């Protein structure tokens, strides 16, 4: 059962609710706890959910059995007091006792805890800090906690009140359809509140307006996706700008509509080539697999910085690659130099949660891994992330990977230089490569020497110390 059906399970008949919750996988937003759980031990998942995107904990379920909580009445008040007694600052949580049938078939209850994303970094009373990542509540190191504290103000922009917005600015049909997705048939107010899209005084949040607004761009002029297709691999400027006529599309609206419409537009504009398909016939296929560029688009829309005014998401489609640039740097917990090791962390936790409910996006780290796996499956070079002072650019190049035999002879990390040179729109010097990869100059020089020896790159300069010298890929 996907996590967006937890609400439907909780609304089921008492005889079914326990079975449905046991069938639901524990994930980024849902956890089960036994009736024997101590109050102090409950602090860890509460803190982890609050430091991530919020979530739901069901107490009274253990080892595939519905225990219920009626057999431990003395613990109920202890659990309810956990936010005040064992978390700092107190985690915002709502408690609900849901009727069920226990494993003996007798009437019983489950304790359901709804945790909201926190405005600040939370910790347990013992000073430990946790973050929900997938189905785990992971303890953060000192450095990771510092990064989380640094990022927290930015990450909660989606939870702030949308200035001047009220319920008349929302598309009630979108909200109702979302309510049906999560199994809630209540009023608009109730549906929004279930996903922390209202402030404590019942005002619409920035996330609520971006997700369900009739025209969010009135309040967020920069919240759109611009899609451009170029005729030449080189972008060009001015009179040499190689932009294809009628291939500059601006997509606006609520986030679900933006993703859907941008996807349709890209399907029309991404170049196709003839390739041998699974059917054994040559068929037209996009130069970059659809699942890869779609994941890149979705990640950009969900995780961009909506607080940065004056900038938007740009998708640039070239004959040999697709580039997706999104406003906002990677949060400090994420290292763009090691994309396959990225831990889940959402800059916009409320937007990420709703999009997951709508099956628009999954987990950030998981999606990136899928992109790499799919590009490697079809024999293309790895995706490349480059971070500027205010944005992240993803390059998906329709270029073949290094031959495995050649790659085995090269120093570790050499392929990163090849990918970087392929992704760059201009020639790069040694210093540029050092800065982009954020590794030492001796390491870069050693990798470049090995690549040059294999005939994969060439050095172009007038003298050995030419400051304008650059590295270029060979035609091989």
Of the chain, the end-to-end C-alpha distance in Å amounts to: 49
Coil, strand or helix: which one is 135? coil
Bond into 89 cis (ω within 30): yes
DSSP letters spanning 52-78? TT-EEEEESEETTEE--STT-HHHHHH
Distances (CA, A) of 344 to 173, 348, 386: 31, 12, 19
Reported pTM: 0.71
CB-based contacts of 106, cutoff 8 Å, min separation 6: 68
DSSP letters spanning 198-263? B-TTSPBBHHHHHHHBS-GGGT-TT--EEEEEESSSS---GGG--EEEEEEEEE-SSHHHHHHHHH
Cα-only R_g, the chain? 25
Q: Write down the residue that tokens 């870069």 correspond to.
A: 444
Look up residue 167 and give its DSSP letter.
Answer: G
Provide the token pair at 61: 């379920």
Q: Tens digit of pLDDT per residue, the chain (476 long)? A: 445 578 889 989 999 999 999 999 998 889 999 999 999 999 999 999 999 889 999 999 999 999 999 999 999 999 999 999 999 999 999 999 999 999 999 999 999 999 998 888 999 999 999 999 888 999 988 877 876 776 665 557 888 899 999 999 999 999 988 988 887 767 888 899 888 899 989 999 999 999 999 999 999 999 999 999 998 887 766 555 677 877 899 999 999 999 999 999 999 999 998 765 566 676 788 999 999 999 999 999 998 988 877 789 999 999 999 999 999 877 655 555 566 555 566 778 899 889 988 888 654 456 788 888 899 888 888 888 888 778 889 999 998 887 778 888 999 889 888 888 877 767 889 998 998 887 899 999 999 999 999 999 999 999 988 889 999 988 65
Provide the token pair at 277: 């398909």
DSSP letters spanning 378-439? TTBPPPEEEE-SSEEEEEEE--BPPPHHHHHHSPTTHHHHHHHHHH-SS-B-HHHHHHHHT-
Q: How many CB atoms lie within 10 A of CB 150?
A: 14
Distances (CA, A) of 460 to 230, 432, 450, 471: 28, 14, 16, 6
Q: How many CB atoms lie within 10 A of CB 243?
A: 15
What is the spatial distance between Cα 258 and Cα 378, in angstroms, rounded to a whole number? 28
What is the spatial distance between Cα 377 and Cα 128, in angstroms, rounded to a whole number? 41
């Amino acid at each position: 059962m996907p996590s967006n059906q937890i609400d439907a399970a909780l609304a089921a008949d008492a005889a079914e609710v326990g079975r449905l919750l046991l069938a639901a996988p524990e994930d980024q937003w849902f956890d089960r706890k036994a009736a024997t759980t101590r109050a102090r031990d409950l602090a860890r998942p509460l803190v982890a959910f609050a430091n991530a995107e919020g979530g739901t904990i069901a107490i009274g379920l253990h080892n595939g059995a519905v225990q219920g909580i009626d057999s431990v009445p003395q613990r109920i008040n202890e659990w309810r007091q956990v936010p005040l007694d064992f978390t700092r600052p107190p985690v915002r949580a709502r408690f609900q006792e849901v009727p069920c049938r226990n494993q003996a078939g007798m009437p019983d209850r489950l304790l359901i805890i709804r945790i909201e994303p926190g405005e600040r970094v939370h910790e347990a009373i013992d000073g430990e800090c946790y973050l929900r990542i997938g189905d785990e509540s992971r303890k953060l190191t000192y450095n990771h906690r510092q990064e989380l504290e640094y990022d927290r103000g930015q990450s909660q922009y989606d939870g702030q009140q949308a200035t001047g917005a009220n319920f008349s600015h929302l598309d009630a049909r979108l909200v109702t359809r979302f309510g049906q997705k999560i199994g809630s048939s209540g009023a608009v107010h109730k549906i929004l509140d279930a996903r922390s899209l209202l402030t404590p005084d019942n005002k619409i949040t920035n996330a609520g307006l971006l997700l369900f607004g009739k025209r969010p761009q009135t309040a967020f002029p920069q919240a759109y996706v611009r899609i451009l297709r170029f005729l030449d691999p080189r972008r060009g400027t001015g009179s040499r700008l190689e932009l294809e006529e009628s291939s500059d599309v601006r997509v606006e609206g609520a986030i679900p509509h933006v993703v859907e419409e941008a996807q349709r537009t890209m399907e029309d504009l991404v170049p196709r080539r003839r390739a041998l398909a699974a059917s054994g016939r040559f068929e037209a296929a996009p130069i970059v697999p659809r699942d890869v560029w779609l994941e890149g688009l979705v990640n950009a829309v969900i995780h961009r910085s909506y607080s940065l005014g004056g900038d938007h998401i740009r998708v640039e489609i070239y004959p040999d690659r697709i580039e997706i640039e999104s406003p906002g740097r990677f949060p400090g917990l994420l290292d763009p130099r090691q994309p396959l090791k990225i831990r889940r962390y959402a800059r916009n936790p409320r937007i990420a949660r709703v999009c997951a409910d709508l099956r628009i996006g999954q987990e950030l780290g998981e999606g990136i891994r899928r992109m790499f796996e799919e590009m490697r499956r079809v024999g293309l070079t790895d995706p490349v992330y480059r971070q500027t002072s205010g944005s992240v650019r993803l390059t998906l190049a329709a270029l073949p990977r290094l031959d495995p035999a050649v790659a085995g002879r090269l120093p570790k990390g050499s392929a990163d230089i090849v990918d970087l040179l392929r992704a760059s729109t201009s020639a790069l010097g040694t210093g540029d490569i050092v800065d982009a990869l954020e590794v030492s100059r001796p390491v870069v020089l050693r990798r470049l020497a090995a690549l040059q020896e294999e005939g994969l790159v060439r050095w172009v300069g007038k003298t050995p110390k030419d400051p304008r010298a650059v590295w270029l890929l060979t035609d091989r």
